[in-house]
Amino acid sequence: MGLPARPGLYIVTCGDCMPHVGTSGSLAGRVRALANLGTHRGSAEVLCAAFCTQAAPSVWWEEQPTVIAARVREKAFKLHYGEPPQPRSRYRACVNGAELLGAIIEAAGPDSWEAGYAEAVFEIGEKLSLLFRPRFEAIWEQVGVPPGPWVR
């Protein structure tokens, strides 16, 4: 993507949804963690927004001279647009990935091991890549894998 390893603000969109806005001292490293569904608190909302909109995530970024400047810019951005996901009226169900989690639980069966595991992963809010292990293949076939870099 050509993201710099410098500080800045980044905005993730999926179709008409803006599921995440964040800052980092290294834009490239932060977005890489998000795309890999690694240790990143925004992963659940981005994955859910891709599911709900059926649009792969796009990343927009704005370099800043320092992390402090990036945080000031993020605060101003969120004051203007509101806390993601936005528009909130349409994507409230993507908060913490709730819509996608609900679909996974329904496909797995609410009392199944897979449903409990998915709930735990979403509750932690990190390492959502754990949901793409072979044990979940049949569930993803029913639910549909959201478009994005996690598609095999």
> For the segment 88-113, what is each residue's pLDDT rounded down to a tens digit?
999 999 999 999 999 999 999 999 99
Task: Calculate mean pLDDT across residues 14-31.
Answer: 94
Q: Is the pLDDT of residue 1 over 80?
A: no
Is the domain of 87 the same as that of 111? Answer: no
Q: Is the pLDDT of residue 2 over 80?
A: no
Domain count, the chain: 2
Task: Calculate mean pLDDT across residues 114-123.
Answer: 96
Is the domain of 25 the same as that of 88? Answer: yes
- Domain span at 123: 94-143
Neighbours of 92 (CB within 10 A): 11
Q: Is the pLDDT of residue 52 over 80?
A: yes
Residue corresponding to tokens 């710099």: 4
Residues 81 and 88: their CA atoms lie apart, in Å, by 10
Is 132 a member of any domain?
Answer: yes
Q: Which residues contact 40 (CB under 8 A, 6 or more apart)?
A: 30, 33, 34, 126
Task: Name the pTM for this structure.
Answer: 0.92
Q: What percentage of the chain carries pLDDT values higher than 90?
A: 83
pLDDT given at position 33: 86
Q: Is the pLDDT of residue 152 over 80?
A: no
Is 3 a member of any domain?
Answer: no
**Coil, helix or strand at residue 68:** helix
Residue 78 phi/psi, 5° resolution? -70, -30
pLDDT given at position 39: 83
